[in-house]
Amino acid sequence: MGNSYLGALLAIVIFGSYMVPLKKWSSYSSWSFLSMMTTGALLCSLVIAFVTGTFNMNPMGLLCGALWVAGGAFCFWAVQAEADLAGAGVRAMGVSILASFLSGVLLFGEPSNYALSIPAIVCFLVGLSRLTPSTGGSVFKNWRSFLGGFVFGTYLIPFKIATAHGLQLTDVEFMCSLSIGIFITSQILVGILMLKRKKSFGFPVLPSLVCAGAGALWTIGMHGCFWAIAPIAAGGTLGYAVGYPLTQLNLLVNLSWGVFVFGEYKTAKERIKLLLATFIILAGAVLLTLSKG
């Protein structure tokens, strides 16, 4: 089953790092990244599947894979349409945290000390809100990032429900079919977009190879995520309501890449604001961990 805390840590570090190629090569298309990243994820999953004898194309994995791509697409479109890179990511992550926590508590009946878990979620949301300025206007104009966050917070729910009702599918078997679903759906989507624009997004060799490697890294992170969200009844420590929101601390890893490697948040004012937000988010993480019941 793996250790839930170790799995959460692994997922946090990897999920916060696998999109670094888009920081390194800012002109590289997000859609090219999606295509190559999912190719790398598929290849890594197939290697694991054939080595372990767990090749599988279960429809549940294919469905969850399609949902994952939908979540990613909404987030990419949000960055373009809402013209707010940081804000779109933060809004999506906030909704993802809230959706996954409520899913674990309401759908799976996982125990939680609400005196700690509710303040924890509030800390997450307040800390995230400090990372992006308010742009004003109707909140509904940001529907793409909200919807992307909701999908990312719930795309594993069909699998969790199915296994709770008797589906015999291990995490490794599910990961194989999930990667296949992600690959097929993403390639179809990117192909449709290229046909619509009548031009390729461009796939320079070095960035594309690195993005494929990022996909393989993401696959390893997903195995950590499965450890983190393992059902308490099946020997897991955190469950979905606590484990999945904790994996969203990957934002802090991503921000660290920006600050220490790419020179983002250059002024003292920006760094103080970032430090305050980080402190609030980490306080939420501590409270959420203590609330697991």
pLDDT at 113 over 70: yes
The average pLDDT across 153-181 equals 95
The average pLDDT across 193-222 equals 96
Greater pLDDT, 259 or 184: 184
pLDDT, residue 1, reads 46
pLDDT at 140 over 80: no
Tokens of 75: 């987030």
CA–chain centroid gap for 117, Å, is: 21
pLDDT at 167 over 50: yes
pTM for the structure as a whole: 0.91
Q: What percentage of the chain exceeds 70 in pLDDT?
A: 94
Mean pLDDT of the chain: 91
pLDDT at 110 over 50: yes
The average pLDDT across 147-174 equals 94
pLDDT at 134 over 70: no
pLDDT, residue 264, reads 85
The answer to whether 144 and 82 have CB atoms below 8 angstroms apart is: yes
Over residues 47-70, the pLDDT tens digits come to: 999 999 999 999 999 999 999 999
